[in-house]
Each structure stands twice: as structure tokens, then as C-alpha cells.
Amino acid sequence: MIVIASAWILLLLAGGGFALDRVLTGAVTRNFDDQLDYLLTSMIVSAEIDSEGEVRFNRELADQRFFEPYSGLYWQVSGKGFRPFPSRSLWDRVLRVHAHAPNGSVHTYDSDEFADEELRVAERDVKLPRSNVWWRFQIAQSRAMLNAQIAALRQTLIRSFLLLGLGLIVMAALQTWYGLLPLKKLRRDLAAMRGGTSPRIEGPLPAEVAPMVEELNGLIQHNERQAEEARRHAGNLAHALKTPLTVVMNAAAAGSDDLPETVVREARTMRRQIDHHLARARAVGRRGSAHSRAEVWPSIEAVERAVARLYRHVRIDVDGRRDLSAHIERQDLDDLLGNLVENAAKYGGGSVFITVGATAGFVEILVEDDGAGIPEADRVRIFDRGVRLDSGKPGTGLGLAIVRDVAEIYEGTVSLEESEDLGGLLVRLRLPMAN
């Protein structure tokens, strides 16, 4: 940032300095030329034609340098057919006369005709009274003074712009250092967090950095929550497997006659527990993705086809909006709908009705059946792991528990009600709508 700012400052100052140098150099040169033009006009006004037809001055020019040899200020009058009439300051030299058509206007130019002296020349062609000859009046002055003024001006410009550039670069460096100082503090806080001495990034921060720190703290909190959930799931699974393992070990140690049956029974229990906790773990892991998105209607159609093959006597009807998407992974949505629709087909009387809608930022899925329903007193207890109200049909008692846990992981809800249309159970599943 400092290098880019310095390069940009130097580029702008170089461009601005060049433009200012052109303007000021032009102004100094025009002022110099105006002085030459004034002397040239004075010379022309005082000129007249004598009896021999040559130019003479009715009064001498006031500048003393015209009388001093090689003084650096010269004049000369030239005419076709006449010898040049020079000032005494030219001594043994003559100004060069360029051939061009006379037009009566002032012509100013630089000349290097004298090897030891660079000149600035102003000339004008004039036809004097009582003369048909175009006389060329020339004023020449050494450029030494003009060059000295331009050199002093450029020296001042260079010094001023160098000082200005240095000041701007120092200011840019300080601004960059001060602006990035919060990131150094952020790095120290992150190092402290990694070292275990600080749980969060705290302290006042500039408004430009504060949102990033808030998001970073949110990410840390999210990771801590996931880690805590993983530890809790591991503890719950260990606790759930402890009792079946104890039963098996006791039966084996006692040499029980029904050891095979005990092992099979307790193995089923352990498998149910493992399936349940694996489902929760998968849902927790997928929830971390901000891009989780599943289209509801294709998932319902897939579940409908699968359940219809298992329960051919059950009629499944689907209605509602087809354009809704939920903030959930497709596999988890399939698991939720599969559990709900299969339960409705298994415990219902042969009719299942699925309705899809939207309300208050949630996708709402209603699964109704025409079975016996669930008493209101048991509608909370039924979500506990292993609870079954109808033991006459095969099952693990974990379907609704898995549905509740996975829905809550995605910040959704599931509730049980009575179906007004079919008379059986109505399961209301709500999941956050995907943007």
C-alpha cells in the first residue's frame, strides 16, 4: 500500500511539476520578450532616413549596454542594398539576417550564431517614411539572464515538490501504518486464543474492522457449539451403549442359557442407538454449510415412490406449492420425510395426505393419515428415544426422535396434532426457507 501510494504521489507530482514548469518558464520568457519588444519599438520610433537614404537615430537609445562591446545587449538595422548599421556593443560582429518575406510583425527566436553566447532575438521589418526599402530592425540579448531565472525557478520547483512528495509519502506511510494497526492487535488476539489465554477477540475496534471481528467471533462460537454437541453426542452414545454391554457381559459371565438371544436383543438396541446418534451427527456436520438447500417437492416425490413400493395398499396424495426450497441438506430432508410418511403409511388406515406450504419464512409440510392418531397426553412423550405406542408393529421407536433432533439442528420444529380431514394424526414439520 505504501509503495503504491508513493508511486502514485510521485507520478502526480512529476506531471504537475512538469506542467507548472512549462507555465512559469513560458511566463518568464514572455516577460523577457516584452522587454525586447519595448526596446525594438523605441529603436523604430527614433529611426529616420538621412540625406543619403540610410537609417539614422534622432536620439540614442537609453540603455548604456548598447555602447559597451560584447555587453550582451545589441541592436542592428539592415536593409537590402545597404551595409548593416550595428550598435557599438556588437563591435566587430554582425547579427545574422534571415531571409523571409517582410510582414511588419515582431518575430522572436533563439539564436546560436555567436559561439560563446546564446542570444534571444526580436526583429521586425519596417518601411520608414521617404524610403521604399524594407528595413529590418533587430534587438538581441544574451539568454544568460533568462536561463539563470529559469534555472532558479526550476530549482525552487524541484525542492518544493520533493519536500511536498516526501511529506505526502510520510503521511501515506503513517496513515497506512495507523490504519493497519488494528490488524496487528487482531493477530495478537488470535495468537492469544490459539494459546488458550483468551476465549474471544475483545476490546474496542474501528468500525471498518468490527464487522469482521464479529463474524470471526460468531464462527468461533459456532465451532465451539459444534464441538460441544459432538462431545455431548459421544457421551450420550457411550451412556446408551453401556447398559446393553453390561447386560451382555453379565450374561456371558454367568453362563446364561439364553446368551444368544440376549446378545441379539442387546445388539439390536445398540444398533438403534448408533443409528440415532449417527443421524444427528450427520445433520450437525451438514448444518455448518451456509449453502444448504433442498427443493421440497422432488424430495416428497422420491419418498412417495419409495413408501408406495413398501405399502402398496396405501394411497398417498400430495398437494401444495412446488417451488419451495428449505435450508437443509437433501439427504436429511429425505430422512425426515421418509420417517414421517412411512409412519403415516404404517400406522394409518390406508390414506396419507401431504401438503406443502409456506408461512413466516418457513416451509411447512403437513403429513396426515386416517389412523387412530395419538392421544394428546402422549404427543410429547412419543418424541423420546425408544418410546412406541403400538408394539404390535415392527419398529425401533427412534423415528420421531430422529425427526425432532434433525429438525431442531436446522432450527426447525415438528409438532403433532389431530387431522381434521382424515381424523388421524397430523404431523406439522417446519423448516427454514432457503433464500
The predicted-structure confidence for 213-227, as pLDDT tens digits, reads as follows 888 888 888 788 777
Band of pLDDT at residue 284, cut at 50, 70 and 90: low
pLDDT given for residue 395 in this prediction: 42
- Tell me how far apart the alpha carbons of residues 222 and 215 are, in angstroms, rounded to a whole number: 10
pLDDT at 210 over 70: yes
% of the chain with per-residue pLDDT over 70: 92
pLDDT given for residue 214 in this prediction: 84
Nearest to 333 by CA among 380, 292, 275: 292
Distances (CA, A) of 237 to 226, 270, 334: 16, 9, 24
Q: How many CA atoms lie within 13 A of 84 on its CB side?
A: 17
Of the given ranges (159-168, 200-209, 314-323), which has the lowest mean pLDDT? 200-209
- Tell me how far apart the alpha carbons of residues 276 and 417 are, in angstroms, rounded to a whole number: 24
- Tell me how far apart the alpha carbons of residues 194 and 213 are, in angstroms, rounded to a whole number: 15
Q: Could you read off the pLDDT of 95-126 as tens digits, one per residue?
A: 999 888 778 889 999 999 998 899 999 999 99
Average pLDDT, the chain: 85
Over residues 361-385, mean pLDDT: 84
pLDDT at 299 over 90: yes
Q: Could you read off the pLDDT of 349-362 as tens digits, one per residue?
A: 899 999 999 998 99
Q: Are 372 and 424 in contact (CB under 8 A)?
A: yes
Structure-block grid coordinates of residue 399: 423415528
Q: Could you read off the pLDDT of 22-40 as tens digits, one per residue?
A: 999 999 999 999 999 999 9
pLDDT at 394 over 50: no
Structure-block grid coordinates of residue 124: 521586425
Q: Could you read off the pLDDT of 324-349 as tens digits, one per residue?
A: 999 988 888 988 899 899 989 988 88
- Tell me how far apart the alpha carbons of residues 278 and 284 are, in angstroms, rounded to a whole number: 10
pLDDT at 94 over 60: yes
Q: Which amino acid is at 115?
A: A
Nearest to 383 by CA among 421, 339, 419, 351: 339
- Tell me how far apart the alpha carbons of residues 35 and 143 are, in angstroms, rounded to a whole number: 13
Strands 351-359 and 315-320: parallel
Q: Are 382 and 396 in contact (CB under 8 A)?
A: no
Of residues 195 and 282, more confidently modeled: 195
Over residues 59-88, mean pLDDT: 89
Of residues 148 and 200, more confidently modeled: 148
pLDDT given for residue 355 in this prediction: 95
pLDDT at 270 over 70: yes
Q: Could you read off the pLDDT of 237-258 as tens digits, one per residue?
A: 776 678 788 888 888 888 888 8
Bridge partners (DSSP) of residue 357 are 364
- Tell me how far apart the alpha carbons of residues 295 and 325 are, in angstroms, rounded to a whole number: 4
Band of pLDDT at residue 287, cut at 50, 70 and 90: low
Q: Could you read off the pLDDT of 170-190 as tens digits, one per residue?
A: 999 999 888 888 888 888 888
- Tell me how far apart the alpha carbons of residues 305 and 10 are, in angstroms, rounded to a whole number: 72
pLDDT given for residue 409 in this prediction: 83
Q: What's the chain look like in SS3?
A: CHHHHHHHHHHHHHHHHHHHHHHHHHHHHHHHHHHHHHHHHHHHHCEEECCCCCEEECCCCCCHHHHCCCCCEEEEEEECCCCCEECHHHCCCCCCCCCCCCCCCCEEEEEEEECCEEEEEEEEEECCCCCCCCEEEEEEEECHHHHHHHHHHHHHHHHHHHHHHHHHHHHHHHHHHHHHHHHHHHHHHHHHHHCCCCCCCCCCCCCCCHHHHHHHHHHHHHHHHHHHHHHHHHHHHHHHHHHHHHHHHHHHHHCCCCHHHHHHHHHHHHHHHHHHHHHHHHHHHHHCCCCCCEEHHHHHHHHHHHHHHHCCCCEEEEEECCCCEECCCHHHHHHHHHHHHHHHHHHCCCEEEEEEEEECCEEEEEEEECCCCCCHHHCCHHHCCCCCCCCCCCCCCCHHHHHHHHHHHCCCEEEEEECCCCCCEEEEEEEEECC
Q: Which amino acid is at 319?
A: D
pLDDT at 393 over 60: no
Band of pLDDT at residue 397, cut at 50, 70 and 90: very low
Hey, CA dihedral for 113, 117, 120, 121, is it positive or negative?
Answer: negative
Band of pLDDT at residue 316, cut at 50, 70 and 90: very high
Q: With b meaning 16 or more CB within 10 Å and e meaning fewer, what string describes 7-25?
A: eebeeebeeebeeebeebb
pLDDT at 317 over 90: yes
- Tell me how far apart the alpha carbons of residues 293 and 325 are, in angstroms, rounded to a whole number: 6
pLDDT given for residue 403 in this prediction: 85
pLDDT at 308 over 80: yes
pLDDT given for residue 391 in this prediction: 43
- Tell me how far apart the alpha carbons of residues 279 and 87 are, in angstroms, rounded to a whole number: 112
pLDDT given for residue 153 in this prediction: 94
Instruction: Report the Cα–Cα distance between both ends of the chain, in Å, rounded.
Output: 38
Structure-block grid coordinates of residue 100: 523571409
- Tell me how far apart the alpha carbons of residues 166 and 172 are, in angstroms, rounded to a whole number: 10
104 φ, ψ (degrees, to nearest 5)? 80, 0
pLDDT given for residue 55 in this prediction: 86
pLDDT given for residue 25 in this prediction: 94
